[in-house]
Amino acid sequence: MSFIEFIKQPWPWYVAGPLIGLIVPTLLLIGNKTFGISSSLRHICAACIPANIPFFKYDWKKEAWNLFFVAGIAVGGFLAFWLLQNPEPMQVNPKLAAELSQYGIDDYSKLVPIQLFNWESLFSVKGLLLMVGGGFLVGFGTRYAGGCTSGHAIMGLSNLQVPSLVATISFMVGGFIMANLLLPFLLNL
C-alpha cells in the first residue's frame, strides 16, 4: 500500500482524536500559544485595514504564526482535494438518506448534496438569506463567545476554562436545534 493510498483511508477516532489533542500541549510548550481559527481574521484585519479602530490596534505581528497555521490549513485542503479525492459517491446513513429524500435531496455524488450547494440555489432569495443570515449568526456567535468551536472545544476545554465549557455546550445545543428543528423547516420553504 502506497503512502497516498494509506492516507486516503479514514482514520479511526483513536488516532485522529489524540493527534488533534496533541496540538494543545505542543502550542503551549513551544511558545505559550493558544489554538483557535477565528482570531486569525482579527489578525488579518489588523494587518490590512489601516483604520483607527481600537479593536484592531495591537501588535498583530506577535500572532503571525496563526496566519501561517491558517494558510497551512488552506494549502492542506487544496492538496487533499487534488491528491486524495475518492471517486466513490459519498456514503450516507440510510436513515438520513430517507429523511433527506423527503426534501428532494438525493444526489450524493459530490462531497455535499448538489440540490443544496449549487450556484442557482446560492443566488436565490432563500439562498442569499440563508448564507448572509447564517454567516452573520456564525460571526456574531464567534465574537460574542470570544472564540470559535475549535478554540473553545479543543483549547479551552483542555485548559479547564468554564467559559469554554459554556460556549461549547451552547454551540452543541445550537447545532442540535438547527439540524433537527430549523433545517427541516427551511428545506420545506
Parse the chain into domains and list their residue ranges. Answer: 1-85, 118-189
Give the pLDDT confidence score for residue 176 in this predicted structure: 92
Residue 75 has pLDDT above 90, yes or no: yes
Nearest by Cα to 106 from 114, 147, 179: 114
Taking only the tens place, the pLDDT of each residue in 115-159 is 778 888 888 888 888 888 888 888 888 888 888 888 898 888 888
- Tell if the pTM clears 0.75, that is, is over it: no
Taking only the tens place, the pLDDT of each residue in 1-36 is 788 888 877 788 899 889 888 888 888 888 888 877
Say how far apart CA 57 and CA 80 lie, in whole Å: 36
Contact by Cβ (8 Å): 63, 30? no
Nearest by Cα to 155 from 8, 37, 30, 7: 37
Give the pLDDT confidence score for residue 165 in this predicted structure: 94
Contact by Cβ (8 Å): 107, 114? yes
